[in-house]
Structure 1
Amino acid sequence: MNVISRYDREELFKLIQAKLWREVIELFKNNKIYKQIREDPIANRILEDVFIKELILGKSFSSESNHVHYLEQFYLLHMTPGFDFKLDKDDFEKLVVKLATEYYEAERLKEAYQYAKNLPSHFFCKQVIEEFKRTQPVNVKHSQSDYIHLTETQGESEIDHTISLFKSEQEYLFFRALREAFPMYVVFPNIALSSIINFEAIQGLLQQKERSFFFRSLIDCVVLDQEEFYKPKYFFELDSIFHDSDKQIENDKMKDNIIRLAGHKLYRIRSRGKIISEKDFSILIRDTVN
């Protein structure tokens, strides 16, 4: 059905009866037709009681796939200069809350905030505004602000949920021993293979399983030369009984091959049954790594 180009009550009612909401909304964009609708007491009542209120309350429109779009059209008509269409204060507030709710429930907080800020004192809109602001970084004042921009997040939890990089005390002692053994270098724990090995250079030599493994694998400790833009020098793995499963044996073989293809050795260290001290680790490293 085409949008009517002049006011015709019967045609208007047909659009409403056929639920051609887009076409009805288009009528409101024509200031001349909108004025005639408002001046017609019967048409005006139908629009107020059947169309506008039902749309805003969502009783008849919530099942429509485009109902949020229709709500947005109402909002834009009300807010855009040049259109005579205006909702009364109560309906506009309901429309704002409806839109904010729709986007909030869809986990689209930014859009919910854009509508909620129209009603900052409304209890729900206030909640949306506060939650949105908690997700936004704030500017930090500092002495170099003329040429460096610095922000910080806000609203952090009172409980620290971070964890250590090290899975065991043995890993930590080994890390300390490496730092002591290589004072001219830096040591990074649990570093991703993909951050220190050129995948493009070796991918043609890898099997499909190895390619997939490459992007989810870590190295326990890597010694890097900071004077060479942190280029890796030595690779170390600290093994345990957890490396005895068939799956882990397969993973270890893939990691060994990847390091080999990258042009390096991978040193694997495993205790023969006792806890290794930091001193023992240091002696071992100095005895075996040139």
Structure 2
Amino acid sequence: MEREEALKIIQEKNWNRLIETLRDNVIFENLISDPIFASLFHDNFIKELLSEQILDKDDELIYLNSVFNFHKSNSYSFQLKDEDLENLLIRLFDITGNIEFAKQKREHPKFKQALADHKEKQIGENREIAILENLLIEEIDAIKRNKTDSIFKSPQEKEFFLAASKVFSDCIILPNVSLSMVLSSNLLDTLGNHEKWFFLSSSIDIVIVDSYTHKPTHFFELDSGYHDTPKQIEKDNLKNKLISESGHKLYRIRKKKHKDQTQRFIEWLTQIKNQN
């Protein structure tokens, strides 16, 4: 490529052609040795490439990444000036939020703060994971120590369990079973820290399990007036979401006060069983 052609490409701001010149060391070294091209290349192409106004947003990240990869690779002659490299890294970090770009210039004030924030966030996440692990250990220890407690938390749960045992007599009925026992741990990969905590620390009132496949088929929750509080509504919505993402529906029922509902539970559960 002759100098005149290269200068025309710069003038026309043909970014694709300009970046292609960086791929060929022979062409680039020949051009960059020309003082006029070198001056225009750095003052026009590089400076404008790093400008926030001149690029289509769809192409911006592709161009910036290409220039950065050419610079850091030992296979290419092209090298950015230190100031231009710094500006390029700032642009890439602002667009992607990728902390790896900040690690390239650790002493820059912007990146120093970003790395400090990232480290603090990691410490917080590790602390939450440790708390979750300790919570599970404490729950297991509590179960081992408390061997005589009832498996039911209320008379209502006992009534519902008895009704479920009659309707789903060919299945396994699990009362107060933890979410982590009946839902796939693969769900954890899609959850934030708060949701992971909920997943690992929450339970379902009644789960129906197929006796042959040993897989859950129905999930039930017994609600009360307590479930009308804003905080509990938020938790209930999250539990509904987790069950839904596992491919099932969470059935909720509320008992009338001071009245045995065993027969009503049987009728309701029979309707649900017949729907499937």
The alignment's TM-score, normalised by the length of structure 2, stands at 0.51
Q: CA deviation at 1:121?
A: 2.8
Q: Which of 96, 103, 115 is the equivalent residue of 2:101? A: 115
Ranges in structure 1 where 5+ consecutive residues have no aligned partner: 1-5, 105-111, 139-151, 158-170, 196-219, 242-265
Matched residue SS, 1:57: coil
Match in the other structure for 1:84? 77
Rg larger for: 1
Are residues 1:57 and 2:51 paired?
yes
Q: Which of 154, 164, 180 is the equivalent residue of 1:173? A: 154
* 1:116-144 per-position Cα deviation (integer Å, ceiling 9, x unaligned): 221223233244445555676x9xxxxxx
Match in the other structure for 2:175? 187
Q: CA deviation at 1:87?
A: 0.8
Distance in 2 (alpha carbons) for counterparts of 1:81 and 1:185 = 64
CA contact (8 A) 1:179 1:187 kept: no
Q: Which of 46, 62, 77 is the equivalent residue of 2:40? A: 46
Of all paired residues, the percent bearing the same amino acid is 26
Q: CA deviation at 1:52?
A: 0.6
Residues 41 and 233 (structure 1), Cα distance of their counterparts in 2 relative to 1, 3 Å cut: closer
Between 1 and 2, higher relative CO (CA 8 Å, sep ≥ 6) is seen in: 2
* AA partner of residue 69 (structure 1): I
Q: CA deviation at 1:18?
A: 2.4
Q: Which of 19, 24, 27 is the equivalent residue of 1:25? A: 19
Q: CA deviation at 1:101?
A: 0.8
Match in the other structure for 2:255? 270
Distance in 1 (alpha carbons) for counterparts of 2:218 and 2:13 = 71
Match in the other structure for 2:206? 222
Q: How large is the Cα RMSD of the aligned pairs?
A: 4.7
Residues 134 and 222 (structure 1), Cα distance of their counterparts in 2 relative to 1, 3 Å cut: same
Distance in 2 (alpha carbons) for counterparts of 1:69 and 1:178 = 63
Question: How many pairs does the alignment contain?
Answer: 190
* 1:75-117 per-position Cα deviation (integer Å, ceiling 9, x unaligned): 011111121111111111111111111112xxxxxxx122222
* AA partner of residue 102 (structure 2): A
Ranges in structure 2 where 5+ consecutive residues have no aligned partner: 130-151, 165-171, 184-203, 226-250, 267-276
Match in the other structure for 1:66? 59
- Structure 1 or 2: larger helix share? 2
